[in-house]
Amino acid sequence: MPVIQIHLMEGRTTAQKQALMREVTRAAAETLGVSPQSVRILLQELQSGHFAVAGEPKYADHDPAANGHAPQPESVTSN
């Protein structure tokens, strides 16, 4: 322990995700006084538009919908 689940919007580079996992592990191990080996991280990416604040979907930066070009719901099929 601990087991840490990180929910992240898709669109980050592999380098960012590896740094995230490495530094969160370091932070957890240091503050809890445990071996880094005991820290496990599960990184779960959310699809763009699958996170909502106040009921409004949020989009990844690379997603055209993030720039005001909202998808036309009637004609969009989910992936």
- For 11-30, b/e burial (b = at least 16 CB within 10 A) is bbeeeeeeeebeeebeebbe
Residue 2 known to be catalytic = yes
Whether the CB-CB separation of 39 and 25 falls below 8 Å is answered with yes
List the structure tokens of 9: 């919007």
The least distance separating its own copies from the CB of residue 5, rounded to whole angstroms, comes to 4
User: Which residues inside 17-56 make contact with its own copies, applying CB under 8 A?
Assistant: 17-28, 30-33, 35-37, 39-47, 49-56
3 binds its own copies (CB under 8 A): yes
Q: Name the site residues for its own copies (rule: CB under 8 A).
A: 1-28, 30-33, 35-37, 39-47, 49-58, 71, 73-79
